[in-house]
Structure 1
Amino acid sequence: MKAEQWVFWALAIYFALMSAVYPYITLKTEGHVEIIGTVVILLTLVFTLMVAGFLYATGRRMDKRPEDRQDGTIAEGAGAYGFFAPSSIWPFWCGLVVMLIFLGWIFGFWLSIIAAGIGVWAVAGWSLQFYRGDYAH
């Protein structure tokens, strides 16, 4: 977790600097301090600190991973990464539903309602695709 936490600590330093510089820049260019931009940068700093703190606390409680140790080898990190579907039609249906929802914003709300109904079917099919058929387990 060492590499991940350093990324977020670096981002926190960057957002801390930007939260100090941004009001000064907006004051010089626009004549007034832009409050919303300053608040957004401060909230981003807070959220980045939350993730960095979580990774730091979690990393202290866990055993070191092979990539965090100096003597770690590539073979130690090998293993199963998960199960992936050999083929599935459900991502196509879910993509079609998203397209229909956005088209509903253009052509009429009724199309979005129909797409939401098809979407329930498509998401259920994608979630339950391994409970029946050729790849049931």
Structure 2
Amino acid sequence: MRPEARLFAGVALFFLLTDAAYLWFAREPAGSAALTVSFLMSALISFFCWANHRRRGTRPEDRPDSDIQERSGFVDFFPPHSAYPVIVAMGMALMGLGVVYALFLFLIGLGITLCGVFGMTFQYAGREG
């Protein structure tokens, strides 16, 4: 993750220099605040990538002599079919209609949406990994 850390450190440096120039010439607080937040966010990502590189070392995709099989493995379980996304969509549609027409439609849609979300979440909860 060293290349990503360097990339985002460069982005953070750009935002810092741009922020300093903007603060000096424009003297406008909104733009300076936006550039400061951009600097802080890119510095945070750079620090995260640097810390991951120090903790885990070089990844296979960082080496030119690595193979694809070095990163492969068990992906995860993907459910074959489920009716719960349709239930969630119907509940959201009722919630949208409830915002326009009446509170009781919104509450019915909220209940249907919550049932669908909980159903999707716990549909395969008892499944062995």
Q: How many residues align?
A: 128
Contact 2:89 2:113 in 1 (8 A): no
Quote how far apart the aligned CAs of 1:125 are: 0.2
Mapping 1:77-92, distance limit 5 Å:
77-92=71-86
Q: What corresponds to 2:123 in structure 1? A: 129
Say whether residues 1:37 and 2:31 are aligned partners.
yes
Q: CA RMSD in A?
A: 2.7
SS in 2 for 1:79: coil
Question: What is the identity percentage for the equivalent residue pairs of Structure 1 and Structure 2?
Answer: 30
Amino acid at match of 1:5: A
Equivalents in 2 of 1:122, 1:111: separation in Å? Answer: 16
Amino acid at match of 2:74: A
> 1:10 and 1:119, CA in 2 relative to 1: closer, same or farther beyond 3 A?
farther
TM-score (norm 2): 0.75
Mapping 1:42-53, distance limit 5 Å:
42-53=36-47
Equivalents in 1 of 2:97, 2:7: separation in Å? Answer: 39
Q: What corresponds to 1:55 in structure 2? A: 49
Say whether residues 1:101 and 2:98 are aligned partners.
no
Quote how far apart the aligned CAs of 1:3 are: 4.3
**1:32-84 deviation per Cα after TM superposition (whole angstroms, max 9, x unaligned):** x4312321221121122112102211211103221022321112122222221
Q: What corresponds to 1:9 in structure 2? A: 9
Long gaps (5+) in structure 2: none
Of 87, 96, 119, 2:113 maps to 119
Equivalents in 1 of 2:117, 2:21: separation in Å? Answer: 46
Q: What corresponds to 1:19 in structure 2? A: 19
Equivalents in 2 of 1:93, 1:62: separation in Å? Answer: 42
Moved over 4 A (4+): 21-25
TM-score (norm 1): 0.72
Equivalents in 2 of 1:11, 1:100: separation in Å? Answer: 44
Amino acid at match of 1:35: P
